[in-house]
Amino acid sequence: MYRFPWVLLLVAAVNMAVAAEPLRPGFYSETCPPAEFIVRDVMKKAMIREPRSLASVMRLQFHDCFVNGCDGSLLLDDTADMVGEKQALSNINSLRSFEVVDEIKEALEDACPSTVSCADILVLAARDAVALSGGPNWEVRLGRKDSLTASQQDSDNIMPSPRADATSLINLFAQFNLSVKDLVALSGSHSIGKARCFSIMFRLYNQSGSGKPDPAIEPEFREKLNQLCPLGVDENVTGPLDATPRVFDNQFFKDLVGGRGFLNSDQTLFTSRRTRPYVRVFSKDQDEFFKAFVEGMLKMGELQVEQPGEIRINCRVVNGRPVDVLMSY
């Protein structure tokens, strides 16, 4: 239980905002002082239960912020009249650990009702996932509101495919004023976690319709991938994104230099001349990678659009909508 006496003085009315407000550190220092402690405490417990959940939760911020800004829209379940982002091509059967966000929100609602947004939870939890995995820690800017809707189509129109090449990724990030350096650094989020065979079958057996494997894959590594993901395999089988999938470090970039990137969209960062220099730098200098990663996360966290918003009580449901009307999938 995280209840504090002062919480009874808080007004539990729904907070609404039309224009995106400036974000700032310490946003909840007066309205919910234990907010950041609560988020990290739940994340620690999730890590103990299932170490992979840290990487899974971190991914949620990326998939949320790139679609209409960091507004928690990714967390909304489908309803009878809305197909949300969880059904998008890049998310379905891929994103996971939503229950960890539910646990964080429940703890925060117990301590500070109707105060901390789900959008801010994603940003805090992503930061904590990195720090708890051995990566950098940083001060986050908070004060986001939660969206009132979500759109599968908007997500499908934005989120990249595992088949994406460096040029398409550079162009996508540029739409959000994120640089080539930001792209490479933020791709380092794949320092932790796993991905499905589904995402690499084409690389192993039919790269670019050639009927052959991707020549950029180092031969011994390709043999390991062939054993993990043979033709006819259950494509939900997972493999590590780098050689140290539970530790946030620069091993991911060392693997790319050696031709051992799991995803095409990762290995392309080394095969492309525009992104290769940053991969080389980060593979040799972990501190430089950490610094660039934090800068990129802060910039990505600033993505906002002007739209109606609220502080959701349940991250899966817009306030005022009965839970029992939700469609289940």
Is 244 annotated for ligand binding? yes
Quick one: which of 147, 123, 102 has its CA closest to 36?
Answer: 123
Is 324 annotated for ligand binding? no
Residue pair 212/183 in contact (Cβ under 8 Å)? The answer is no
Is 322 annotated for ligand binding? no
Is 7 annotated for ligand binding? no
Is 190 annotated for ligand binding? yes
Is 63 known to be catalytic? Answer: yes
DSSP state of 152: H
Is 237 annotated for ligand binding? no
Return d(Cα 231, Cα 4) in angstroms, integer: 56
CA distances to 44, 104, 226 from 38, rounded to whole Å, are 10, 7, 42
Is 85 annotated for ligand binding? yes
Is 31 annotated for ligand binding? no
Tokens of 162: 């595992």
- Who contacts 140 (Cβ-Cβ below 8 Å, separation ≥6)? 25, 123, 124, 127, 298, 301
Is 69 annotated for ligand binding? yes
Quick one: which of 229, 273, 236, 269 has its CA closest to 252?
Answer: 269
Catalytic residue, candidates 59, 63, 127, 316: 63
Q: Where are the alpha helices (DSSP H) in 210-263?
A: 219-228, 251-257
Enumerate the known binding-site residues for substrate.
Answer: 160
Enumerate the known binding-site residues for heme b.
Answer: 190
Enumerate the known binding-site residues.
Answer: 64, 67, 69, 71, 73, 85, 160, 190, 242, 244, 249
Enumerate the known binding-site residues for Ca(2+).
Answer: 64, 67, 69, 71, 73, 85, 242, 244, 249
What are the catalytic residues? 63
